[in-house]
Chain A
Amino acid sequence: MSKYLVKRFLLMLPTLLGVALVTFLLIRVIPGDVVELRYSGDRGAVSQEILDQERARIGLDQPVWKQFVTWLWGVVRLDFGTSMWTGAPIWEEIKLRFTLSLQVAIMATILSVMLAIPLGVLAALKQDTWVDYAVRIFSIAGLAMPSFWLGIVLILFLLVVFKWLPPMVYTPFWVNPWQNMLQLVWPALAVGYRYSAVATRMTRSAMLEVLREDYIRTARAKGLMQKLILSRHALKNAMLPVMTVVAIEFAFLIGGLVVTEQVFNLNGIGLLFVQAVAHRDYTLLQALVMLVAGMFIFVNFLMDVAYAWIDPRIRYR
């Protein structure tokens, strides 16, 4: 097991390096840089000299490979440098917003799993009845609705029915947990619906497959209660693919939050991302993309390890 673990861990490194390289190059190709953009307000008033000075100050005059190496060395030490736009350390910029986005992501995950597993199991048990059709339509609709629109509709609904508007100021969890939950449950619901739709479909298909297995028939034949068959035999075996989908979707959820945070006025990672693109804030953008991609790679690694732990055959491949 430890051999597999080391092997799988080392396999992660070239991908991470590649991600870093692609991120770095992609962002340098964006036309216009932060210096130009910051001084574009007083066009012409700034001499080329000052622009060059400013570029030299934040290291943009160095050759690209040198910039890359400097940056990569920082990333290895988990030091992402300072934002080119605000000048604040990136770690500071990201920390608070990341906890906010992470909380929404976790709440969305919990909501969607709570919704997906019962619905998926129900649809599989009642395959090709109206219950199955209803669940399938509900989940396909979840895939179709853009989360930002669902967010707008939710806000509209809350406004009309409860006269409640999402507050402009974010309340951290440790200040007022109730207020905080009340504020974040709606964005979590808006992104969670789509998320649950993916998981529902997976649960349904995995359950259908497992229910056809011989051991389920055996369990039925020996007169086991339906409830026990489901919980002990079927669900346990069907959960593996479902957990995979949930994990992968979780890693990508931060990306999905990009649009939803805009609707709910949440100052999270997604909003920061859009701002970083607009400001050509190379260092911040690099850090954010690395963070999201790195999370995905890490979750994948964890999934593989979990698989190997559950199924010993994988380790010997």
Chain B
Amino acid sequence: MAISPPIDQVAALPAQDSWFTAARRFCLGRPLGAIGAAVIVVMFVVAVLAPLISPYDPVVNDFAGMLAAPSRAHWLGTDAFGRDVLSRLIYGSRTALLVGFGASVLGATLGAVLGVASAYFGGRVDLYLQRLMDIFLSFPLIILALALVAILGNSIPNLILAIMIPMIPRAALVIRSSALAIREMPYVDAARAAGFRHGRIIMRHMLPNVMAPYLIMLTAFLGQAVLLESSLSFLGLGVQEPIPAWGLMLRGAAVEFAETAPWMAIFPGLAISLSVFAFNLFGDSLRDALDPRLRTQ
């Protein structure tokens, strides 16, 4: 006997919102999140258009105009090498976004795969993976990242790697707990009964269903990754001169000349704070929108 598809039930389901309507509802319902998103969009535009909008070359020294105060020529002043602070801030957004997105997307994705696999296989695999995660969770983020940078050396790809690795166990932990519930779903049983390979079940049936916690983790990581990159660069173990990076701009001369040239110390810090602030605002609102159980937080 053939099973007739329940057409009337399908028709009764509400139509899927288009991206535009969903975005509009998000903006209207969560003004703080919308502000965060707007700042992130502006950052992206600035990073992409950096060569067009920055008034000076960010790496060219001008020893005649060192430590110049903000003026019409240099809106945010110049640093100890006479480089324009505004231009370095603009180009620095590229570094921040590249490392921030690179590290958090990779970290959250690898963590999600590990977390889902751990929940799916259960038993021994789960136990050993969890132990391993426990070990890595015992290291503070920055300590592990510092050690990794020392091992890998400090180019931008290595920096992304060093920030990404400590994030994996944190993502895996959260995703695993969501995936444990999904493993018990009938459609996973059905997929197993149909004889699909483990890899296919994990990638096609389980991963798409942990999208909400994944996105929440990802946005939470973004701010942390930007902060971590600036901390490492500030310690001299991250991005190297003369590449413009916000944390690097706060290193050395910015502290020494803080009294006579405070613009060098103030503006890069403001840029870091504003971007992390925007990521956190957006992430918080996204979490509220995606996961109503956590709404009170």
Q: Which A residues fall within an 8 A CB radius of B? A: 14-15, 18-19, 22, 26-27, 29-31, 133, 136, 140-141, 143-146, 148-149, 152-153, 155-156, 159-160, 201, 204-205, 208-209, 252, 254-256, 258-259, 262-263, 273-274, 277, 285, 289, 292-293, 296-297
Contact = CB atoms under 8 A, between A and B. Distances in A.
Given A146-B269, A259-B231, A293 B142 contact: no
B267 to A, nearest CB: 11
Contacts of A149: 250, 265, 268-269, 272-273
Contacts of B268: 149
Contact of B234 (A26, A143, A208, A259): A259
Contact of A19 (B138, B247, B284): B138
Given A144-B280, A289-B139, A292-B143, A30 B134 contact: no
B64 to A, nearest CB: 26
Given A140-B281, A254-B140, A259 B235 contact: yes
Residue in A141, A149, A201 with the greatest tally of chain B CB atoms within 10 Å: A149
A141 B258 contact: no
Contacts of A141: 273, 277
B125 interface: no
Given A144-B272, A144-B277, A259-B231, 12 more contacts: A27-B147, A140-B280, A144-B276, A146-B227, A149-B265, A153-B265, A156-B262, A204-B297, A285-B147, A289-B147, A296-B139, A297-B138
A18 B135 contact: yes
A109 to B, nearest CB: 16
B47 interface: no
B23 to A, nearest CB: 22
A277 B235 CA distance: 11
Given A205-B297, A289-B147, A297-B138, A148 B259 contact: no
A149 B271 CA distance: 11
21 contacts: A18-B135, A19-B139, A22-B135, A27-B147, A29-B151, A136-B32, A140-B277, A143-B223, A144-B223, A146-B231, A149-B250, A153-B269, A156-B265, A159-B258, A255-B140, A255-B141, A258-B142, A258-B231, A259-B235, A293-B138, A297-B138
B49 interface: no
Given A15-B131, A27-B147, A292 B258 contact: no
A146 B273 contact: yes
B154 to A, nearest CB: 11
Main secondary structure of the interface of A (DSSP, over half): helix
Interface string B144-156: 0011101101000
Contact of B147 (A26, A136, A155, A252): A26
A148 B140 contact: no
B133 to A, nearest CB: 10
A145 B273 contact: yes
Contacts of B250: 148-149, 152
A15 B138 contact: yes
B105 interface: no
B73 interface: no
Contacts of A160: 259
Contact of B146 (A29, A152, A254, A273): A273
B258 A22 contact: no
A258 B235 contact: yes
Contact of A152 (B140, B237, B258): B258
Contacts of A209: 296
Contacts of A14: 131
Nearest to B31: A133
B134 A15 contact: yes
B45 interface: no
Nearest to B264: A152
B284 A31 contact: no
B290 interface: no
B231 to A, nearest CB: 5
B87 interface: no
Q: Name, among A29, A148, A273, A296, the residue most crowded by chain B CB atoms within 10 Å (CB to CB).
A: A148
Contacts of B53: none
Given A205-B297, A256-B142, A274 B147 contact: no
A278 to B, nearest CB: 8
The 7 closest A-B pairs by CB, nearest first: A255-B140, A149-B269, A144-B277, A144-B276, A18-B135, A205-B297, A293-B138
A277 B147 contact: yes
A235 B16 CA distance: 43
Given A15-B135, A18-B131, A262-B235, A143 B147 contact: no
Nearest to B36: A140
B262 A273 contact: no
B254 interface: yes
B132 interface: yes
Given A140-B281, A201-B297, A153 B140 contact: no
A301 to B, nearest CB: 11
A255 B262 contact: no
Nearest to B274: A144
Contacts of A156: 258-259, 262, 265-266
A184 B146 CA distance: 25
A252 B139 CA distance: 8
A141 B281 CA distance: 9
Contacts of B230: 146
B255 interface: yes
Contacts of A152: 250, 254-255, 258, 265, 269
B132 A18 contact: yes
